[in-house]
Amino acid sequence: MALELSKEETLEKRKRLIGQSCRLFYSDDPVKIVRARGQYLYDENGKRYLDCISNVQHVGHCHPSITKAAAAQMDLLNTNSRFLHDNIVLYAERLAATLPERLCVFYFVNSGSEANDLALRLAQQYTQHEDVIVLDHAYHGHLKSLIDISPYKFRKLTGQKEWVHVAPLPDTYSGMYREDHPNPGQAYADTVKDLIEEVHRKGRKISAFFAESLPSVGGQIILPHGYSTKVAEYVRSAGGVFVADEVQTGFGRLGSHFWAFQQQGESFCPDIVTMGKPMGNGHPLACVATTEEIAGAFTANGVEYFNTFGGNPVSCAIGLAVLDVIEKEDLRGNATRVGAHLKDLLTKLQTRHRIIGDVRGAGLFAGIELVKDREKRTPATETAALLVKRLKEEDKICISTDGPWESVVKFKPPMCFSMEDADLVVQCIDRILTGYRSNKFIQFTWQNMLLPCTNSDHCGDSLCLCYGLFFSRVHSYIRAPTDLK
């Protein structure tokens, strides 16, 4: 039995023992979570938090069916995939049923990063080319090979390698072609075509185009219609393959489709699909699905692919249980219904708060982009950060931001998120944004003076006047985001 530590002790040990580049959510006042169920997290004092962040605990935290399947298999056998076992083949068969027929060969690994690294190897081996095209602001994992193809990371590190080429993010809200463009799908696909021609002029060759099927790190971007089909056509005619990163978006999160790439239409099929996060509901389980031709080329190099933990009986038992729960509890149906309700509420909110520039997403993968002004679409980064902080402190709601300027407030909760949960989050966002607007004019009413200060905990402002109740509203004004002042 592990020792129980106070929150301060945990924090002190974490600072001392864990690499400081492994950051915590809410780093100035982290939440210590000791148990969880469904869409709720509980801290060491039993306080309940609504979780809008955990796309990993896909069917709900600590789902009893998943725990039961894991424990039963753990009790019976766990070994590596060099022994013949039913689970891996039964699981591969179930996954194959969710995918287009040509994606019929599977490699099981332990993380999204491992899946993308293997996808890179498969593509390079099959095409015998080296170069990769990625979307701007993309993130595909923490391995060195993936930092190299993740502009979100390499821009802060050693920079762009000569074999990596960055295409514009097909963002029809703040990108180069917007919602008023007659055919943004074609226009953005043409930027990839131009990039391929440029690569060829340099005497280089494309092995792969890598993209999230719904770019999440880029800010919950819905790819414009026709984009992927056209890009796949250009990339294939250059001898490359199309890799769809479904690490965040797969397993029915969009409700309408099991895989986000399917949003692009029946005729579109990637050559490689990578999956991870939600696959094991928190257990490290990830996978690469590809075609017989690509897998064949990988086999033909004569080198064994061995992964100690990938596809072990326990992981596959968990994967099978996740698929069962998605079906039995109609979680795709729930994502469709609750996602539509959430989007509807957020769209109504947008009519009242000019700071909400855009509402987008599909199913339980949604986002609101906050802007300082609607015409210029300048990101309201500071408000987004404060909104996240206040939702956690005042309402016990955990939510995060993303996008190139961290101005997109993201919703990717466990798939059991309910209508009532959606109502609550939107009401709280409304209250906070309304408060910021009215704080522009400090109202010294008695009622205001008696309100407890919401920001007193960790105020680092040297000029802060936050001394108890009297100055609470003054303090809120001082701390109100300059985006809104």
Residue 371 in contact with residue 378, Cβ under 8 Å? Answer: yes
Closer to ligand PLP by CB, 141 or 170: give it. 141
Closer to ligand PLP by CB, 238 or 247: give it. 247
Helix or strand (DSSP H, E) at 370: strand 365-370
Closer to ligand PLP by CB, 288 or 453: give it. 288
DSSP 24-85: PTTTTS---EEEEEBTEEEETT--EEEESS-SSSTT-BT-HHHHHHHHHHHHH----TTS--
Residue 368 in contact with residue 356, Cβ under 8 Å? Answer: yes
Closer to ligand PLP by CB, 113 or 124: give it. 113
CA distance 329 to 448: 46
Residue 282 has phi, psi (to 5 degrees) of 120, -20
| Shortest Å distance, C-beta 115 to ligand PLP | 7
Closer to ligand PLP by CB, 217 or 384: give it. 217
Closer to ligand PLP by CB, 185 or 215: give it. 215
| Shortest Å distance, C-beta 334 to ligand PLP | 23
Nearest to 391 by CA among 410, 366, 375: 410
Closer to ligand PLP by CB, 270 or 276: give it. 276
| Shortest Å distance, C-beta 217 to ligand PLP | 6
Q: Which residue is nearest to ligand PLP (CB)?
A: 112
Residue 33 in contact with residue 45, Cβ under 8 Å? Answer: no
The footprint of ligand PLP (CB under 6 A) covers: 111-113, 116, 139-142, 212, 217, 245, 247-248, 276-277
Residues 6+ away with beta carbon under 8 Å from 319: 91, 95, 279, 280, 285
Closer to ligand PLP by CB, 277 or 475: give it. 277
Closer to ligand PLP by CB, 112 or 224: give it. 112
Compute CA distances 42 → 6, 58, 255, 420, 425, whole Å: 15, 17, 27, 19, 17
| Shortest Å distance, C-beta 153 to ligand PLP | 11
| Shortest Å distance, C-beta 170 to ligand PLP | 16
DSSP 388-413: HHHHHHHH-EE-EEESTTS-EEEE--
| Shortest Å distance, C-beta 329 to ligand PLP | 24
Longest dimension (CA), the chain: 79
| Shortest Å distance, C-beta 108 to ligand PLP | 13
Which residues are registered as beta bridge partners of 206? 131
| Shortest Å distance, C-beta 436 to ligand PLP | 30
| Shortest Å distance, C-beta 109 to ligand PLP | 9
The tokens of 369 are what?
A: 């982009």
CA distance 89 to 106: 9
| Shortest Å distance, C-beta 249 to ligand PLP | 8
Give the HSE-up count for residue 379: Cα atoms under 13 Å, Cβ half-sphere.
16
H runs (alpha helix) in 273-418: 292-300, 313-328, 331-352, 381-395
Determine the residue type at 174.
S
Nearest to 96 by CA among 289, 287, 377, 312: 289
| Shortest Å distance, C-beta 277 to ligand PLP | 6
Closer to ligand PLP by CB, 131 or 212: give it. 212
Closer to ligand PLP by CB, 56 or 432: give it. 56
Determine the residue type at 39.
Q
Strand order in the sheet with 286-290: 105-109, 286-290, 272-275, 241-245, 206-212, 131-135, 164-167
